[in-house]
Amino acid sequence: MSGTESGQAALVAIDWGTSHARAYVVDGDGHVVARRAAPVGVGAIRDGDFAGAFARLLGDWAALPVPHVAAGMIGSRQGWIEVPYVACPAGAAAVAAAVAPTPGAELSIIPGVIVRDEADIPDVIRGEETQIFGAVRDDEPDVLAVLPGTHSKWVHVAQGRIVAFETHMTGELYAVLLAHSLLGRLADTSGAAEAPGPAFARGVARGLSGGGLGHLIFGARTLALAGELAPPEVPDWLSGLLIGREIRSARTWAHRRGLDAARVRVIGGDALVARYREALARADIDAEAGPADAAVRGIARVARLANLIH
């Protein structure tokens, strides 16, 4: 542990998901002064050894005399402890009031948020709520936020409160189709580039069009069979198709809520944000990028409201 890390630390913030965990030393002004990552996501932990995973992730940071606060799947039913969801509408203060410690007080865990749709089907967020609180100000009246990922979220935020949201399994569906369906046999993923290419744009246009999703997906196979998609283009086309269909569906959801879906805020990692911004532009939606460190900002904000730091 460097003297700089120890002297400036006000908080250790942890973004702890299913496959990875990332830890950040945050100073009193909310700035990240150091970061670490380890493949100790919730899905990789065996025999409930969360304390051991925590020690491997933090190393000597575990001894820092500051709060350690985490968000994400570490608070799920499969995590260290299950922290119950907070019902919408939910702002940072309501979420902060439900923060829970692990049995040995090693870690304070931020809860997720739950909502029910028009058919009374529950939908949940766990981890993305901190990104929202770190990327949307309390004085903004209505923001439509998009959080790309394995399970993409479209979130209506008003005056800093999560009012409603809708989840799309876009990233997971993409991975499953390439790994476990006939589409993968015609696709070459060895040289897959993060930057979208022309095939991605073609896929987005197809996804934004009408037709059943099952039929549209099959086009990845038939275009490859017809020689109109080269094997390295199949993943890009499929990615564009699924993202385009997500945008089409989510825009309808936003309109039903009376929101202006012509402008959104995209919050997430650089590669996915760039991909979504291109797709959104092709749907005539103006997309601004949220701050890259939104999750850390949100964790720090919740920690302050929970009186864990001052």
Alpha helices in the chain, H assignment, sequence order: 3-8, 50-58, 92-96, 128-135, 170-180, 198-208, 213-225, 233-256, 270-282, 294-305
pLDDT band at 6 (very low <50, low <70, confident <90, very high): low
Q: Is the pLDDT of residue 282 over 60?
A: yes
pLDDT digits (tens, 9 = 90+) for 154-198: 999 999 999 999 999 999 999 999 999 999 888 988 766 667 889
- Torsion of the alpha carbons at 197, 201, 202 and 207, rounded to the nearest 10: 130
Average pLDDT over residues 231-244: 96
Specify the residue for token string 């991605």.
Answer: 200
Looking at residue 28, its pLDDT comes to 87
Looking at residue 94, its pLDDT comes to 98
Q: How far is CA 232 from the centre of its chain?
A: 26
Average pLDDT over residues 87-91: 97
Looking at residue 142, its pLDDT comes to 94
**Which amino acid would we find at residue 53?**
A
Of 139, 112, 140, residue with least CA distance to 125? 112
Of 147, 152, 143, 278, residue with least CA distance to 203? 278
Looking at residue 193, its pLDDT comes to 60
Q: Contact 282/208 with Cβ under 8 angstroms?
A: yes
- What mean pLDDT value characterizes the chain? 94
**How many CA atoms does the CB half-sphere of 264 hold within 13 Å?**
30
pLDDT digits (tens, 9 = 90+) for 249-270: 999 999 999 998 999 999 998 8
For residue 96, give Cα distances in angstroms to 25, 86, 172, 301, 306. Answer: 20, 10, 30, 9, 5
Q: 113-116 and 108-109: which strand pairing?
A: unpaired
pLDDT digits (tens, 9 = 90+) for 36-54: 999 999 999 999 999 999 9
Average pLDDT over residues 192-205: 87
Looking at residue 61, its pLDDT comes to 95
Cα–Cα dist 83/135, whole Å: 23
Cα–Cα dist 9/32, whole Å: 9
